[in-house]
Chain A
Amino acid sequence: MIKKCICLLFILASSLPVIAMSDTPAITISQAWIQEGPPNARVLAGFMQINNNSDRAINITSASSDVFNKIEFHRTVEDQGMARMQRQQQLTVPAGGQLKLEHGGYHLMLMQPSRRLKTGDSVDIEFTIPSIGKVPARLEVRQPDQGHEHHHHH
Chain B
Amino acid sequence: MPANQQNNKRSSWLPYVLLAIIASIGGAVLSLSNQQPTPPPELATATLLTPGKSINPSGLVDHDGKAFGLEQLQGFYTFIFFGYTHCPDICPATLYQFKTMAKTLKSQQPELFARTRFMLASIDPQRDTPQHLKDYVQYYDPAFIGITGSVDDIKIFSRQMGVIFERRENEDETEKNKDNNDYLVDHSSAILMVNPEGHLKAVFSAPHNATEILKDYQSIFNYLEHK
Check B140–A38 contact: CB distance below 8 A.
Answer: yes
Check A40–B136 contact: CB distance below 8 A.
Answer: yes
Cα separation A49 to B96 with both chains bound (whole Å): 22
Cα separation A106 to B188 with both chains bound (whole Å): 18
Check A38–B136 contact: CB distance below 8 A.
Answer: yes
* Total number of A residues with any Cβ neighbor in B under 8 Å: 32
Cα separation A107 to B89 with both chains bound (whole Å): 8
Check A35–B176 contact: CB distance below 8 A.
Answer: no
Which of A42, A72, A76, A78 is close to B85, meaning CB atoms less than 8 Å apart? Answer: A42
Minimum CB distance partner of A108 in chain B = B88
Distance of B52 from chain A, by nearest CB (Å): 19
Check B88–A107 contact: CB distance below 8 A.
Answer: yes
Chain B CB within 8 A of A130 CB: no
Check A104–B87 contact: CB distance below 8 A.
Answer: no
Check B206–A83 contact: CB distance below 8 A.
Answer: yes
Minimum CB distance partner of A72 in chain B = B172
Cα separation A154 to B40 with both chains bound (whole Å): 36
Cα separation A107 to B93 with both chains bound (whole Å): 13
| B residues near A42, Cβ cutoff 8 Å | 85-86
Minimum CB distance partner of B99 in chain A = A143
Q: A40-B85, A42-B85 are in contact. Are A84 and B136 (CB under 8 A)?
A: no
Chain B CB within 8 A of A43 CB: yes
| A residues near B136, Cβ cutoff 8 Å | 38, 40-41
Check B132–A83 contact: CB distance below 8 A.
Answer: no
Interface string of B135-170 (1 = CB under 8 A from A): 111011000000000000000000000001000101
Which of B86, B139, B171, B182 is close to A39, meaning CB atoms less than 8 Å apart? Answer: B139
Q: Is the interface of A mostly helix, strand, loop or mixed?
A: strand
Cα separation A44 to B164 with both chains bound (whole Å): 23
Which of A69, A84, A109, A144 is close to B88, meaning CB atoms less than 8 Å apart? Answer: A109
Check A87–B172 contact: CB distance below 8 A.
Answer: yes
Q: A45-B88, A110-B88 are in contact. Are A85 and B184 (CB under 8 A)?
A: yes
Check B85–A35 contact: CB distance below 8 A.
Answer: no
Check A104–B92 contact: CB distance below 8 A.
Answer: no
Distance of B87 from chain A, by nearest CB (Å): 7
Which of B88, B93, B189 is close to A78, meaning CB atoms less than 8 Å apart? Answer: B189
Minimum CB distance partner of B185 in chain A = A85
Check A43–B86 contact: CB distance below 8 A.
Answer: yes
Q: Which of A17-47 contact B (CB under 8 A)?
A: 35, 37-45
Q: Which of B164-217 contact A (CB under 8 A)?
A: 164, 168, 170-172, 176, 182, 184, 186-190, 205-207
Check A85–B206 contact: CB distance below 8 A.
Answer: no
Check A44–B188 contact: CB distance below 8 A.
Answer: no
Check B139–A104 contact: CB distance below 8 A.
Answer: no
Check A35–B172 contact: CB distance below 8 A.
Answer: no
Cα separation A109 to B182 with both chains bound (whole Å): 12
Chain B CB within 8 A of A56 CB: no
| A residues near B184, Cβ cutoff 8 Å | 85
Check B139–A37 contact: CB distance below 8 A.
Answer: yes
Ranked nearest first, the 7 interchain pairs of A and B with the lowest CB-CB distance are A38-B139, A83-B189, A45-B88, A38-B136, A43-B88, A83-B90, A84-B186
Chain A interface residues toward B at CB < 8 A? 35, 37-45, 69-70, 72, 74, 76, 78, 81-85, 87, 103-104, 107, 109-111, 143-145, 151
9 further A-B contacts with Cβ under 8 Å, apart from A42-B86, A72-B172, A78-B206, are A37-B139, A38-B137, A39-B139, A40-B136, A45-B89, A83-B187, A87-B172, A103-B93, A104-B89
User: What are 8 A-B residue pairs whose CB atoms fall within 8 Å in the complex?
Assistant: A41-B92, A44-B88, A76-B89, A85-B88, A87-B171, A103-B90, A110-B88, A144-B96
